[in-house]
Amino acid sequence: MTGAITTVRTVKDLRAHLATWRKSGETVALVPTMGALHEGHLSLVALAGTKADRVVVSIFVNPIQFGPREDFKTYPRDEAGDLVKLIKAGTHLVYAPDMAGIYPKGFTTHVRVGDLTEDLCGSARPNHFEGVATVVTKLLLQCAPDLAVFGEKDYQQLLVIKRLVRDLDLQVEIVGGEIVREGDGLALSSRNGYLSPAERKVAPLLYHTIHEVAAALAQGAGADTASEAGRFKLEAAGFRVDYVAVRDPETLARLSGPVKQARVLAAVHLGKTRLIDNVPVPLPASTNR
């Protein structure tokens, strides 16, 4: 598809567009993003397009999910570039609210999901998931889509969102999209641009290491032994490791000893860049080298 794309900036205009589609019986999918779009985001748009008549993409850099020493101010923003990519990807409407459209003066309501948010990225980034849960709840209520698509790249986030939708009886189906990677294995991320050329060369080791951990688990290695080996390898290569963890894929409960079904998740720092990644156990046949 080529041509223009409509961008709405208020919930009123968003709902006016949605009402015309709803009137003609069309279904709607929402893909929430923070912009600086790459092929990973666009794969979610494509997936959304296979499941609904209309695809809405939201672009909003959510301040309350960033810690005080994190990169909210410097987070990449390129709305003009994003719109060009979204037209090509088959988006029907872009929702790019301003700050007051999400957090009006006096805003004081937050959504906190327990349990799932207590460790992994939840310990490394206090309040992060509360910020995510709050903005996602708000976007889902503003848009009221039939389904919303999120990436498995942020695996813990995907489970948190599924849980809040279940707990609050929101009428929306949450769909997970597979991780899109560079040819050398590095998961695409809007933050990869922070990496120096030397760091960019080392960065794919994150994926290769968790892939090795998953392969070892599939061959019967214990969860603790395999994750410790992964941590050691990453630290030896110069990464500062937040965690390498082997968890239940549905509940994120800790696993130890041999496992049949699991998710290997890791978060590391490389210079000033924080990277996260994850793979399933068993590994998909295509990557089972």
Contact residues for ligand AMP, defined by CB under 6 A: 33-34, 40-41, 43-44, 150-151, 153-154, 177, 179-180, 187-190
Nearer to ligand AMP, 179 or 262 (CB): 179
Nearer to ligand AMP, 161 or 255 (CB): 161
Closest CB 240 distance from ligand AMP, rounded Å: 21
Among the listed residues 41, 92, 128, 211, the single catalytic one is 41
Closest CB 19 distance from ligand AMP, rounded Å: 26
Tally the residues of the chain.
289
Nearer to ligand AMP, 125 or 255 (CB): 125
Nearer to ligand AMP, 18 or 30 (CB): 30
Rounded-to-integer distance, Cα 17 and Cα 56, Å = 10
Closest CB 119 distance from ligand AMP, rounded Å: 19
At 119, list the tokens.
Answer: 């460790």
Residue 16, Cβ density class (10 Å: 0-12 exposed, 13-18 middle, ≥19 buried): exposed
- Asked if 278 and 230 count as a contact pair (C-beta separation under 8 A), the reply is no
Rounded-to-integer distance, Cα 121 and Cα 230, Å = 17
Nearer to ligand AMP, 180 or 218 (CB): 180
Query: Is 17 known to be catalytic?
Result: no
Closest CB 151 distance from ligand AMP, rounded Å: 2
Closest CB 225 distance from ligand AMP, rounded Å: 29
- Cα 62 from chain centre: 13
Side chain identity at 258, as an amino acid letter? P
| Burial state string for 219-228 with b = 16 or more CB within 10 A and e = fewer than 16 | eebbbebbbe
Rounded-to-integer distance, Cα 114 and Cα 182, Å = 34
Nearer to ligand AMP, 157 or 209 (CB): 157
Closest CB 220 distance from ligand AMP, rounded Å: 30
Residues involved in catalysis? 41
